[in-house]
Amino acid sequence: MPKKGNLSVICGPMFSGKSRELIRLIHIAEIAGQRTATFKPRIDTRYSHSDVSSHDGFHKGAHAVETASEILSILATYPEFPEVVAIDEAQFFDRGITAVCLGLVDRGRRVVVAGLDRNFRGEPFGSMPELLACADEVLKLRAVCMRCKDPRVTATLPQRLVDGLPAPFDSPEVMVGGAEAYEARCLDCHEVPGKPDYSVIFQEMLIDS
Ligand SMILES: [Zn+2]
């Protein structure tokens, strides 16, 4: 019987089925008789204050918390410590989330995390890079690009739209309650006005080194 737990990370853009996969894994654990606890950041109030919800209507009761350390405080109140800890929208948590997840793995827990691996600019989002690096298992999901609708399911990026237009590079990483919309898009269709040309920056780095 292994003493340590493990960390699984589910990532991808919106509409790729991350929350649905998270809910599916929790469900399997519960069928197997394991105790589970589910968390989400309080910032995400799209559908409910206390549920993890997929876009296609699956729900799971969750604790909505403000900080990563609050996850540990709530777990400590359980009469029996849950064997499986699920965390949705992990990109919105503070940087303590990686330590919380690894601490739980150290104490033999199975931790399943879902989140956006990239922000609307296409950059790594919050603590997701650390979580992905530390994961024992990674599931990177894709969605159908809402612009080209390529049936090969090529969308890896979140497209932020403000009043129907692509949001500029210098708009804030997290926008709460703004008149915004998100789509999943492929690299060809992803639009971020003012985004630096990374290939040029990379070339300059190579010249400098
Ligand atoms: Zn596309």
**For the chain, which residues make up each domain, given as ranges?**
6-208
| pLDDT greater at residue 44 or residue 78 | 78
**What is the structure's pLDDT at 203?**
82
For range 117-127, the mean pLDDT: 97
Question: Residue 96 above 70 pLDDT?
Answer: yes
Burial class of 153 by CB neighbour count within 10 A (0 to 12, 13 to 18, 19+): middle
Q: Measure 42 CA to ligand 1 centroid, in angstroms.
A: 31
How many helices (H) and strands (E) are present in the chain, helices listed first? 5, 11
pLDDT tens digits for range 100-114:
999 999 999 999 999
Residue 30 is which amino acid? E
Catalytic residues: 89
**What is the structure's pLDDT at 132?**
98
Q: Measure 51 CA to ligand 1 centroid, in angstroms.
A: 31
**What is the structure's pLDDT at 207?**
81
The two tokens of residue 3 are 């003493």
Q: How far apart are CA 153 and CA 185, in angstroms?
A: 10
**What is the structure's pLDDT at 63?**
94
Alpha carbon 204 to its chain centroid, in Å, reads 32
For range 170-194, the mean pLDDT: 89
Q: Measure 160 CA to ligand 1 centroid, in angstroms.
A: 14
Mean per-residue pLDDT over the chain, rounded: 92
- Beta-carbon neighbours within 5 Å of ion ligand 1: 145, 147-148, 186, 189
Question: Residue 180 above 80 pLDDT?
Answer: no
Fold (topology level) of 6-208: Rossmann fold (3.40.50)
Q: Measure 18 CA to ligand 1 centroid, in angstroms.
A: 20
| pLDDT greater at residue 44 or residue 163 | 163
**What is the structure's pLDDT at 49?**
59
> CB–CB of 116/11 below 8 Å?
yes
Q: How many CB atoms lie within 10 A of CB 72?
A: 16
